[in-house]
């Protein structure tokens, strides 16, 4: 099986993560995507703590993520505004 024995991330991806499925494809096998609702494994720690596993985020969760990342981009323009934003988040989370 193809792999890269080294510490360079780009080569690891090229000679491992990309080359491995390519070698299967070259042998004549088809590579298929699983149906979106199929779950093959659940993170054990979440299962142990009783956290319901979701394979995909909801549209609301995607919207919240986009909102937070755009707010962060806005405040990270310079160090001063970023520090104010991070201090605000500390206060809000308490």
Listed ranges 56-60, 64-68, 89-93; the one with the highest mean pLDDT: 64-68
Rounded to two decimals, the pTM is 0.47
Q: Could you tell me if 49 and 55 are in contact, meaning their C-beta atoms sit under 8 angstroms apart?
A: no
User: What values do phi and psi take at 35, rounded to 5?
Assistant: -55, 145
Q: Mention every residue, 6+ apart, whose C-beta is less than 8 A from residue 43.
A: 53
Give burial (CB, 10 Å; 0-12/13-18/19+) of 85. middle
pLDDT tens track for 7-50: 888 888 888 778 888 888 899 998 888 887 788 788 888 888 88
Q: Mention every residue, 6+ apart, whose C-beta is less than 8 A from residue 57.
A: 65
Q: Taking residues 57-64, what's their average pLDDT?
A: 94
User: 10 Å Cβ neighbour count for 48?
Assistant: 8
């Amino acid at each position: 099986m193809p792999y890269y024995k080294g510490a360079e991330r780009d080569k690891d991806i090229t000679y491992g993560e990309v080359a491995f499925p390519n070698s299967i494809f070259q042998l004549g096998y088809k590579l298929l995507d699983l149906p979106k609702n199929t779950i093959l494994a659940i993170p054990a720690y979440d299962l142990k703590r009783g956290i319901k596993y979701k394979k995909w985020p909801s549209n609301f969760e995607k919207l919240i993520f986009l909102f937070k990342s755009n707010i962060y981009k806005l405040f990270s323009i310079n160090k001063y505004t970023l520090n104010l934003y991070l201090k605000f988040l500390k206060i809000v989370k308490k």
